[in-house]
Structure 1
Amino acid sequence: MISIKNRHFNVHRILLLAIGLWPCQRSRLVQFQMILCFGILVSSIGFQLLTLITTEFTFDHVINAFSVGLVFTMYVIMYNAFWYNFTEIVERPLEELQHICNELKDKEEIVIMKKYGDNIKRFTFYALVLYICDLIILLPTISLSIMPNTFTVALHISESELRHILYKYIPKYFVDRKNYLCVVLLYFDAIVCIGATTFLATGLMLFAYLKHACGMLRIASYRIKKAINIRNNICPKNEAIMYKGIIYAIHIHRTAIKFSTIIFFSLHLSLFAFVIVAVICLTLNLYAVAKIALHENSIDQFFHIIIIIGIFVYLFFFNYMGQELTDHNNDVFLTVYNVQWYVAPLRIQKLILFLLQRGNKNVNLNFGGVFILSLEFFASLMKVSTSYFTVIYSMQD
């Protein structure tokens, strides 16, 4: 038997526990933790937009404020999506996955599911390493307190220049902002830590769910091959085994599709809003990088480049997950095409014909009734962001 939580979701459990979103007894302490994390993320949006009121209102300053404020908005959207749909996205899918794995009796099917679980663990490890590296780069307070000179020397800037950059994102009339700069930096560090952990934890959970769904589809292909391969000495007993095997394949195929679509149906409004905000944020940060490049302000440009890379990677893997599920579903029906169905009894052939007809309908993850997760959709998002950036930049020139 495969223990899903201990074998495949160990790191996910730690990350979600850190932000209060792991399924456990909902004690008052956990509820307070969730309210605190969500409150910090929501306050970050207001804090950033406050700079529009307390400073001179210019187009470039609006771009700077929204390019960062929309990142905080994406944090809030993802945290709220998992908090609001906690049972449908975190608790119930884990129980259903454990139930599905408990039903697997064939050794080859267990090996297939373990193989996809190992892929999840490998990807999680790489993502965790990237997450730690990002935190080391994005947390100037930790870098300056633990390694006083390393951060500034590595980026070839002085501490005064770093303070000048940070003042752009602190309201002008913030009470004694020079003396309380460390407090403000700690506040921003908390936002980055909670937001980055939210991004990582929620993204890894969705990735793990869809990887398990792909594993189920692979098992469906295996069951079809195994059923049709029983073609020697076709007798009523073997025919019943073939029929039963195909039914089992159809059952786990339907389970995989239902499992993945229900999760994304619970998230479709949140993901719709997330994609819209991500495209706008990506456009504004592209403009900020191009504008700052003219003034040769490397640290500020570096800050926006980190945001661009983060959005790019997150959108890519979102769409990659959808594309992989579609490809695995197509592989199931490609298997049906390739097996020697013509040697099977007539009743089995009719059942296979039904499967072939079902294969004409693509299985896609869509949300908002508009967007379909795929690599083609990812390319369209990048094209749209680049087009908007070009328009804004040409209008300013």
Structure 2
Amino acid sequence: MICLETQHFNINRMLLLIVGLWPYQRSFLIELQLILFFGILITFIVFQLTTFITSECTLGIINKVLSSSFFFICLLIEYNSFWINTDILKIALKQLQEVCNEIKNKNEIAIIKKYGSQAKCITIGLILLVICFQFIFILLYIWPYIRHIMILNNSQSHSPPHIITEYFIDQEKYSYLITVHRHAACLIGSLAMLATGTMLITYVQHICAMFSIACNNVIDSYRIKLAIDISHENNSKNDQKSYKDIIHAINIHRNAIKLLNILVSNFQGSYIFLIAAGTISASCNLFRFMSFISIEQLILSLLFLSILYVYSFISNYMAQQITDHHEYIFITVYTVRWYMAPIHIQKMVLFLLQRGIKSLHVTLGGIFVGSIQSFASLTSTSISYFTVLYSTMHD
């Protein structure tokens, strides 16, 4: 039997425990941790927006504030979406475990393990990427100190404000507290995006595994074709086995769609706001990247853009994977000689054929359809907004 929590979700469990979002083992201390982390993120966003109160609202200042504040709003939305959907994550993991408990065939177990291993590899790769991003962000703020010490053999009083904030206090006097707050918000937000994103990737990989078991493509699944080929032998025992196998395939297919609908329906509201905030942040950071006044600001904008585009690409790629795996079912069932099977088996196959006629897309709020094409459209939209900003600034 496959134990998902210890075999396939162990890294995700560790990441979610760090940020207090693991749906099990909730305690009073975990709730305090959630409130603390959420408070650090939201106050850092607020102290960026309060810059508009004390500073002249030029287009340059507005762009600098929005480019960073909307990036952290994205992190906040991601964190909050998992916090409010704790029960949904429990239900999804429970249903997925029930499906795995019903799988006894070694070939099907191998398919689940293969996709689980792929999810782990993606998770480890993203962990390394986030570590690199976090290292660059920290280096961006300590580099002026290092450079000043190396050149002048002394230290600066405070680091340059690459992210503009207004705390209504003496920022030079309390520079170390402000630095701690800034880096804590960045670390919490990065871990939250990493933990929640990789958790959803692992769910998607297991949904794809369920589709693969049901659809019989040449690499990963075999059940439908095997069942129909056996039925051609006109043996009553094999005929009964074929019937059971097709029922099993239909049940797995139905459970995969049910699990997908649970996740999409409960996360779609948060992700519509995430898409909007991400598009605004990407546009503002593109503008900041093109009109930089220092190498540090250029690197910061490039860092934010890289995170946003990598996250957007992976999200849309995972949605495309679901669509592609679902289409394999229709292609596979249609190409095998199902019409030569006994009538009662043909009737079962028609369930899959009818469902396969309609493409399965991950749609958020009935507006945004996840796919590689949608990623290109989002990228194009952010560039279009940037073009408008840039032309307005230089008119």
TM class, shorter-length: over 0.9
Shift of 1:6: 0.9
Aligned length: 385
| 1:90-101 pair list within 5 angstroms | 90-101=89-100
- 2:165 is aligned with 1:170: yes
Q: What is the SS of the residue equivalent to 2:357?
A: coil
Q: Assess, with a 3 A threshold, how the Cα gap between structure 1 residues 159 and 114 changes in structure 2: closer, same or farther.
A: farther
* Structure-1 residue corresponding to 2:309: 312
Which whole-Å CA distance do the structure 2 matches of 1:258 and 1:32 have between them?
A: 33
**Mapped contact 1:120–1:211 kept (Cα < 8 A):** yes
Q: Which runs of 5+ in 2 are unaligned?
A: 216-221
Asked if structure 1 preserves the Cα contact closer than 8 Å seen for 2:158 and 2:175, the reply is: no
SS in 1 for 2:196: helix
Task: Provide the residue aligned with 1:192 in structure 2.
Answer: 186
Query: What residue number does 2:209 align with?
Result: 215
Q: SS where residue 74 of structure 2 aligns? A: helix
Which deviates more, 206-215 or 72-81?
Answer: 72-81
User: Which residue type is aligned with residue 270 of structure 1?
Assistant: S
**How far does residue 109 in structure 1 lie from its aligned partner after superposition?**
0.3
Distance in structure 1 (CA, Å) of the matches to 2:44 and 2:264: 27
Q: C-alpha separation between the residues in 2 aligned to 1:164 and 1:207?
A: 37
Q: Is the 8 A contact 1:41 1:191 kept in 2?
A: yes
**Cα distance per residue 1:13-61 (max 9 Å; x no partner):** 1111111111233221111001101111111111100112122221100
Partner Cα separation in structure 1 for residue 158 and residue 250 of structure 2:
60
- Tell me what 2:322 maps to: 325
Aligned to 1:45: 45
Letter of the structure 2 residue corresponding to residue 239 of structure 1: D
Indicate conservation of the 8 Å contact 1:268/1:368, yes or no: yes
Distance change >3 Å, CA 231–CA 181, structure 1 → 2: same
For 1:269-288, list aligned pairs within 5 A. 269-288=269-288
Structure 1: distance between partners of 2:147 and 2:261: 47
Gaps of 5+ in 1: none
Q: Which residue of 2 aligns with 1:259?
A: 259
The structural deviation recorded for 1:143 is 5.4
Q: Is the 8 A contact 2:211 2:252 kept in 1?
A: yes
Residue matched to 2:125: 126
Q: Which moved more, 1:348-357 or 1:15-24?
A: 348-357
Q: Are the equivalent residues in 1 in contact too, given 2:232–2:340 (CA < 8 A)?
A: no
Q: Following the alignment from structure 1 to structure 2, what is the Cα–Cα distance between the partners of residues 209 and 159?
A: 49
Query: What is the CA-CA distance between 1:313 and the residue it aligns to?
Result: 0.5
1:34 and 2:12 aligned = no
* Structure-2 change in CA distance of 1:161 and 1:362 (3 Å): farther
Residues 159 and 373 of structure 1: is their aligned pair in 2 closer, same or farther, counting only changes over 3 Å?
farther
Counterparts in 2 of 1:143 and 1:110: CA distance versus 1, 3 Å: farther
Which AA in structure 2 matches 1:34?
A: L
Could you tell me how far apart the structure 2 residues matched to 1:201 and 1:140 are? 23
**3-state SS of 2:230 partner:** coil
Deviation, structure 1 residue 162: 7.7
**Matching residue within 382, 389, 392 for 2:386:** 389
Is 2:329–2:352's contact at 8 Å kept on the other side of the alignment? no
Query: For structure 1, which segment, 92-101 or 77-86, has the greater mean C-alpha deviation from structure 2 after superposition?
Result: 92-101
Task: Note closer, same or farther for the CA distance 1:337–1:152 as it changes in structure 2 (3 Å cut).
Answer: farther
Q: Distance between the aligned counterparts of 1:368 and 1:232, measured in 2?
A: 45
Does the 8 Å CA contact 1:141/1:182 hold for their aligned counterparts? no
SS at match of 2:170: coil
Q: Percent identity?
A: 40
The Cα of 1:332 is off from its aligned counterpart by 1.1
Cα distance, 1:28–1:152 mapped onto 2, change above 3 Å: farther
| Residue number in structure 2 paired with 1:291 | 291
User: What is the CA distance between 1:206 and its match in structure 2?
Assistant: 0.6
Contact 1:8/1:117, CA 8 A, preserved across alignment: yes
Aligned to 1:201: 195
Match of 2:344 in 1: 347
C-alpha contact (below 8 Å) 2:317/2:371 kept by paired residues: yes
Superposed CA deviations along residues 260-310 of structure 1, whole A, max 9, x for unmatched, are 121111011100110011111100110111111xx4x11111101100010
Q: Is the 8 A contact 2:15 2:191 kept in 1?
A: yes
Cα distance, 1:143–1:332 mapped onto 2, change above 3 Å: farther
Q: Structure 1 length normalisation: TM-score?
A: 0.92
Letter in 1 for 2:160: H
Q: CA deviation at 1:100?
A: 1.1
Matched-pair contact (CA < 8 Å) for 1:141–1:185: no
